[in-house]
Amino acid sequence: MELFEEVEAEAYVYPTEDIEKVKRAMLNLIPDLEFEAFDKGDYIILTGKTKSRKALSRLYELFRGQAILDTARSFLEEGYFGEEIIIRVNKQAAYAGVVNFNEESPLGPITIVIRTKDPQKLVKWLAPRTKDGVPIE
């Protein structure tokens, strides 16, 4: 069984931002996104979707590399509704190649939606429980 069916990322792109940099920020967290942009006049809604098996590999690495498994797990658990897990991350941090769950930013967050039939199994894989910083699941 696959861990997830699809991963989608969405961000608002304002006139002061470069759409290519926002794409780069999203790709820094989720590889293989295919983008669509919707012009809303005052801003653009940029969405990227992928069904690639590698889609969550970068988040998997970042959660471990930044030693934020417990924090990531709590945000993933807090954000799951039915067969979707929704998390929001800071756009500027994502551009720098790191995950920051502080979405407080005048430019808004990147919203990541993971569609999965088994959210608990996905959370256990992506951000397992830890003891003294070491995964125990």
Strands 34-39 and 80-81: unpaired
Question: How confident is the model over 44-81, as pLDDT tens digits?
Answer: 999 999 999 999 999 999 999 999 999 999 999 999 99
pLDDT of 1 over the 60 cut: no
pLDDT of 17 over the 70 cut: yes
CATH class of domain segment(s) 6-128:
alpha beta
Distance CA 97, CA 135 (A): 23
The whole-number pLDDT of residue 105 equals: 78
Strand order from edge to edge, sheet including 44-50? 34-39, 44-50, 6-13, 109-115, 84-90, 80-81
Task: Please provide the DSSP assignment of 84-115 as one string.
Answer: EEEEEEEHHHHHTT--------TT-EEEEEEE
Average pLDDT over residues 7-24: 97
